[in-house]
Amino acid sequence: MGECNVIPAPENFELFYAFAAGENPGVTQVIGAMVAAKKPFTPEILSDLRLRCLSGARAARAMDNVGTGITQVIDHVLVRLESAGRHAEDYTNTLSAATGELGANQSPDDMRKLVEDLIAATKAMEEKTRTLEGELQKSSEQVSDLRGKLDDVRKESLTDPLTGIANRKAFDAAMDTGMLALGEGENVCLMMCDIDHFKKFNDSWGHQTGDQVLRLVANCLSDNVKGRDTAARYGGEEFGVLLRGTSLADAIHVADQIRLAVQGRKLVKKSTGDVLGTITISIGVAQFAPGDSIEAVIRRADACLYGAKRSGRNMVLGQDDPRAATLVPSAA
């Protein structure tokens, strides 16, 4: 890490440990190629690598653990049920034998002995049944615990580890849902948001401050979207917001609320309390239309976003704004 001028932050240690251990093929391939080519490890590259490789690896390991736990529970239950089946069979045989003996001429002492044996066998069966019930209850609790862990894994696989909002995978799924909602006659809009001059913050204040900026913007997005909407980190310093049941005019209004919320937050250096300045974002807004592809909606929103960048930043442009037409990406 020292040779590559990588900041010794915990998240970077995790990346380079995975590289050194060879436990993550994706990390090994990318870092190995960059080291060989002597390419610089920018904060953006490191962040993207963590997003693409480590969160998926953690989820995969967690899934393996859950799968192993479920297999162990099932095996244990099958063994206990097999044992219970043998005990039930033995008890049935005991009852059948007693039924046969009842037909014979027996003395009172023999009858007493037969009744005592039946009582003993019945009590033993009751005890084994209670034991089985307890073990099945315990197995049920274990399965419930594993189900909770599985829900946690699923949530983690759809969450950006840095900002805590939805990740690209969840965003893609939300876009698919948006297309279905459009087919049912619902208004659906998409915002594409980008942090203005993000590279400048990273270069001036370091990667940790850059992470703080990303979290600040993510919090503003989360605070200004409602239940069915999805705010996600699209990649790097770019975010996407899917708005369900929202017209283009209303979506532009929501986007401007988000823009003002971000602008109103002060970036404070945690270690010193110094105010480092304000953050601004540019936002492009597009509305889903019948016959659209997901790619087409994203392209329109991106055109609006780049139009906002080129028109001065810290603004919202909708797809009907002429400044959004046929524009190419500009610098952040």
Provide the pLDDT confidence category of residue 152 given band limits of 50, 70 and 90: low
- At residue 141, the pLDDT reads 77
- At residue 12, the pLDDT reads 78
Q: Are 172 and 258 in contact, with CB atoms under 8 Å apart?
A: no
247-265: b (≥16 Cβ within 10 Å) or e: ebeebbebbeebbebbeee
Residue of 3, 82, 237, 238 marked active site: 237
H helical segments located in 224-326: 248-263, 294-310
Lowest mean pLDDT among 117-126, 133-142, 155-164: 133-142
Percent of the chain with pLDDT over 70: 86
For residue 245, give the DSSP letter.
S
251-264 tens-digit pLDDT:
999 999 999 999 99
In angstroms, the CA 101 to CA 243 distance is 79
Give the count of beta carbons closer than 10 Å to the beta carbon of residue 56.
Answer: 16
pLDDT score of 185 more than 60 = yes
H helical segments located in 224-264: 248-263
Among the listed residues 172, 321, 175, the one whose alpha carbon sits nearest the alpha carbon of residue 255? 321
Q: Which domains does the chain have, with CATH numbers?
A: 10-61 (no CATH), 63-157 (1.10.287), 168-324 (3.30.70.270)
In angstroms, the CA 317 to CA 309 distance is 10
pLDDT score of 79 more than 80 = no
Place of tokens 């969840």: 170
pLDDT score of 331 more than 50 = no
Is 11 considered catalytic here? no
Lowest mean pLDDT among 51-55, 214-218, 244-248: 51-55
When mean pLDDT is compared over 92-106, 108-122, 271-285, the highest value belongs to 271-285
72-93: b (≥16 Cβ within 10 Å) or e: ebeeebeeeeeebeebeeebee
Nearest 5°: phi and psi at 233? Answer: -85, 115
Provide the pLDDT confidence category of residue 63 given band limits of 50, 70 and 90: low
Note the pTM of the prediction, 2 decimals: 0.61
In angstroms, the CA 95 to CA 101 distance is 10
